[in-house]
Amino acid sequence: MSSPSLRSDLLIESAELRLIELPLLNPFTYSGGTQVKRVAPIVVLRGGGCEGYAESVADVLPDYLPETIVSSMMMMRDVLLPAVVGKRFANPQQIERLFRPWRGHQMAKAAVEMAFWDLWAKVRGLPLWQLLGGTRSEVEVGISLGINEIPQTLQQVAHYIQQGYRRIKLKVKAGHDLNLLDAVRAEFPNIHLSVDANSCYTLADLPMLRSMDDYRLDYIEQPLAWNDLHDHVRLQSMLRTPICLDESIATLADCRKALQSGAGRLITIKAGRLGGHTVAKQVHDLCLAYDVPVWCGGMTETGIGRAHNIHLCTLEQFSRPGDTSSSSRYFERDIVVERLETSDGLMPIPTNGAGIGVTMDWDFLDSISSSAETIRP
């Protein structure tokens, strides 16, 4: 039995699309470029007396995957939001199914689909982790350190280990790899350590990549091209260190092919890269079936994307520390009221109300919005 307000179909009455700019406290450099601010499309879906929030993880330049802020905003404004506003959905999977025939644009699709998960959970009065099927009550996290001078990196490693982070991930690039690992391993012989190349190497770098086997890394993240699983298969067969795939996994099919071929031994899950929580869960379940560990990546998200990530991390196969570090290491002020801060390497699950469990700081959001538009039926 359901009362009118609890009817199974939830009407999306309107949507709001914003573009915000939030300065980073420190530039974040990886092999593809340097981020000095987080430019983020923010989606708000309204219906059933509630609001659901999400952000697109796209960045200004297509230096991680092909999507950009511009393409992501256009896709949401012209295609995805008009397709859902004024329509009823019984569950978020219906949104994923509606978007499935349209190719690519996973970051844009994710923002809309994830905002619906939040809205759907709020209308039901349940925390997102519960609807996602989470079972973990503690979310272990590590930290991703951008490229820097080696002495600065050593100080950062000491600082964040002291704060309790469970794994240090070092961004590397050609010429800033083995020297960095020598220095870090000399001072920190026993910490959980990984590197993230963001696709900067090729098989021509095989001798250097083989040398990485000497540093007892938990894994090497995305050493080769974002669209080249084949070369990752070859590389993994020649390395002892596990390869962890990030950019290579944009769809469930990518994950299946990676696991079937042995292109990597771990997968980093980012719902924002996979088109949303529905596919992220499918990737999670496939990795569970293959007994392949997963962990939750990050894209320097604001508190909205961070909250989504933390809820997702409660699923059982997230057995390695994720990248959702304290919001304060990136931002002086966040767009959500609650500060998402780690303690002893654990990130508390935000549960201030249903859904993603955080409150939008609307005044601050207004002050950093460069555009805001409403989409009505």
Alpha helices in the chain (DSSP H): 69-75, 81-84, 92-99, 106-124, 128-132, 150-162, 178-187, 206-211, 229-238, 252-261, 271-274, 277-290, 303-312, 362-367
Q: Which is nearer to ligand OSB, 205 or 323 (CB)?
A: 323
Residue 121 contacts residue 308 (beta carbons within 8 Å): no
How many residues in total does the chain contain?
A: 377
> % helix / strand / coil in the chain, to the nearest 5?
40, 20, 40
Number of residues that bind ligand OSB (CB under 6 A): 11
* Residue whose beta carbon is closest to Mg ion: 246
298 in contact with ligand OSB (CB under 6 A): yes
Exposed/middle/buried for 313, CB within 10 Å: 0-12, 13-18, 19+?
buried
Residue 140 found at the interface with Mg ion (CB under 5 A): no
SS3 370: strand
In the region spanning residues 245 to 274, those forming contacts with ligand OSB, defined by CB under 6 A, are: 246
From CA 326, how far away is CA 317, in angstroms rounded? 22
Catalytic (active site) residue 109? no
Q: Which has the closest alpha carbon to 40: 18, 66, 61?
A: 18
From the list ligand OSB, Mg ion, none, partner contacted by residue 144 (C-beta under 5 to 8 A by kind)? ligand OSB
Phi, psi of 58 (to 5 degrees): -60, 155
Q: Which of 96, 196, 218, 334 binds Mg ion (CB under 5 A)?
A: 196
Per the annotation, the verdict on 87 as an active-site residue is no
Catalytic site residue from 109, 169, 270, 281: 270
Q: Rank residues 310 and 354 by Cβ distance to ligand OSB and give the closer one.
A: 310
Q: Which is nearer to ligand OSB, 89 or 226 (CB)?
A: 226
Which residues, at least 6 apart from 155, have a Cβ–Cβ distance to it below 8 Å? none
x/- letters, 148..187, toward ligand OSB (CB under 6 A): ----------------------------------------
State yes or no: residue 246 binds Mg ion (CB under 5 A). Answer: yes
Instruction: By CB under 6 A, name the one of 325, 326, 327, 342 that touches ligand OSB.
Output: 325
Bridge pairing between strands 88-89 and 50-55: unpaired
Q: Which of 109, 169, 171, 281 is catalytic?
A: 171
Task: Write out the residues near Mg ion by the rule CB under 5 A.
Answer: 196, 221, 246
- Residues annotated as catalytic are 171, 270
Task: Write out the residues near ligand OSB by the rule CB under 6 A.
Answer: 64, 144, 196, 198, 246, 297-300, 323, 325
